[in-house]
């Protein structure tokens, strides 16, 4: 359930792909059964395409990868966390328009 520019993160590769990344990383914590998560999918894919050269964008299925969600206290989905230098710097919970997500991302890119 990811577009061509949207990565898939797992508990196994989370540290290497997200926390050790040289660029900001937006992680969409989601699950297949979550209606709002499915509604956010095209928004995440659009953002991934528009920011492909500035921000890494990916999805993490919380049902198959519960450790990262627990580690960062993700209690509801969809939850989007923006990581910079290995730390979460922004959190957006719930279904939001692309413009809201873009505003958050713009404040963290050069």
Active site positions, annotated: 34, 37
Residue 89 near residue 18 (C-beta atoms within 8 A): no
> d(Cα 94, Cα 78) in Å, to the nearest integer?
5
> d(Cα 62, Cα 80) in Å, to the nearest integer?
12
DSSP assignment letter at 71: H
Measure the CA dihedral 35/44/61/27, to 10°: -130
Residue 61 near residue 30 (C-beta atoms within 8 A): yes
């Amino acid at each position: 359930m990811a577009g061509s520019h949207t990565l898939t993160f797992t508990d196994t590769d989370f540290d290497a792909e997200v926390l050790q990344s040289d660029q900001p990383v937006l992680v969409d914590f989601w699950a297949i059964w979550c209606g709002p998560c499915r509604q956010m999918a095209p928004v995440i894919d659009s953002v991934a395409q528009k920011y492909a050269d500035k921000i890494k964008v990916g999805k993490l299925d919380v049902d198959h990868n519960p450790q990262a969600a627990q580690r960062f206290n993700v209690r509801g989905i969809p939850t989007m966390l923006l990581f910079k230098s290995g730390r979460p710097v922004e959190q957006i919970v719930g279904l939001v328009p692309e413009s809201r997500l873009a505003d958050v991302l713009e404040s963290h890119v050069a």
